[in-house]
Amino acid sequence: MNSLKSLLADAGRVLAHEGQGDYVAGHVSLRLPHQPDRFLMKPAGIGLEEMTEDNIIMVDLDGNKVEGAAGRHNEVFIHSEVLRARPDCVAVVHTHAPYAVAFSSLGKPLQAVSNDGAFFANGLPVFDETTELIITKQRGAAVARKLGPHGALLLRNHGIVTAATSMEQAVWLALKLNQACHMQLMAEWAGGPKLVGDPEQARAKGAYASRPDIHTGVFQYVLRRCRG
């Protein structure tokens, strides 16, 4: 259990270090391998980088806190409903990634302006039923339906959600999505992208360049920088 809590805390540090902290907002979760109906989660009231083995909470798939002294985020239902709908996934990230939030306001599809965009060439869903917080099971289920089989989703004017088969991949997707949005925003500032990656090549590149060793390598690299 401690190793899972340590991994979750490290995920928070990586996300905060890479500019996805928003004071005490944003949260990450990690499913328990031997109790798939329960997951560890960042508690409310602290920054992503402030998680420790002592303050991380445990939650069930109905969004109820079942262990831990700290408070639970109101948007717990992003995690509980995505994990309920996606038994293949063990980790969920929700942050207010700044470039992704700004990009979502354009109402434009994400293009392969850079290599980062290629990782979302199979589609990047946008949840636009509301720009409100996801504070009910119904809204959480709607987010999970919109996410579908994809690894990432934009919450319009709000933030991002990523879901993956490892904590490292969920964090990597969050970093790459924010970066892809940043690249396209810069192209938009210059008048709009005129040349973008060929869609078929982008899908191929996205497939072979997203691997567990890369996810872990990036995760560990940022952790080394955090510990500097």
Residues recognised as catalytic: 75
Q: Which residue has the tokens 């905060």?
A: 16
- Cα–Cα distance, 159 to 98 (Å, whole number): 8
- Cα–Cα distance, 137 to 70 (Å, whole number): 21
Computed from CA positions of residues 56, 57, 58, 60, in that sequence, does the dihedral angle turn out positive or negative? negative
- Cα–Cα distance, 187 to 194 (Å, whole number): 9
Q: Residues near 26 by Cβ (< 8 Å), separated by ≥ 6?
A: 15, 20, 42, 48, 94, 95, 96, 159
**Would you call 215 helix, strand, or coil by DSSP?**
helix
Nearest Cα residue to 36 out of 77, 78, 74, 91: 91
- Cα–Cα distance, 11 to 17 (Å, whole number): 10
